[in-house]
Structures are given as structure tokens and as C-alpha cells.
Amino acid sequence: MGDIIRLDGNRIEVSADSKEGMLVPGIIYVDPELERHLEAQAIDQVANVATLPGIVGVSMAMPDIHTGYGFPIGGVAAFDINDGVISPGGVGYDIN
């Protein structure tokens, strides 16, 4: 995984050049204590979501982030209504 930068006491950024194809950066809302427990695969999933067509703003993850099926659990993303995608991974297969 490429550049991960601590922005402040509650956020880290997965820079948009961390992975080929990323259209936007990733923001993970996590303090330094929880950051020590982040799963590498979940961080990679934040980057993967940032490559999806039509993503708007940033690929985000909340403090409960952990590895999911496509999106990380705790992941959040918005997509352009005309150019974006609909992903069941962003909702969760268990509650979908």
C-alpha cells in the first residue's frame, strides 16, 4: 500500500496515488490507538473503492473499519447518479 498520512488526531489519508486507478483519496476516521489495529486488507479495500467509476469526493471508512467482501466494513462512498455504480458490497450482503 502506498502513502498513508496522518491528517490529525482522528483521520488518516490513503493518498490518491497509493494505488493505480484511484480517482479520489481515502479517508479513514481512526485515532492513533485504533490505527495500530487496522487490517492491511481493509485499508486496501478503501483504496479499491476509490477506483470505482463515478465516486464523488473521497472513499471513507469509519472507526469500526475491518475487512469486508468488497467495501471494507464501515466503508462509505457516494457515487454520481449518472456516471456512478451501485455496489451491494457497500450495503452489506448480510443485511442487504
- Per the structure, the count of domains in the chain is 1
Note whether residue 37 is domain-resident. Answer: yes
Q: Which three cell numbers stand for residue 9?
A: 488526531
Note whether residue 96 is domain-resident. Answer: no
Q: How far apart are CA 82 and CA 43, in angstroms?
A: 27
Range of the domain at 77: 4-90
Note whether residue 15 is domain-resident. Answer: yes
Query: Model confidence over 11-49: pLDDT tens digits?
Result: 999 999 999 999 999 999 999 999 999 999 999 999 999
Query: Residue 12 pairs with which residues in a beta bridge?
Result: 6, 28
Note whether residue 79 is domain-resident. Answer: yes
Note whether residue 60 is domain-resident. Answer: yes
Note whether residue 95 is domain-resident. Answer: no
Confidence of residue 69 (pLDDT cuts 50, 70, 90): confident
Q: pTM of the prediction?
A: 0.89
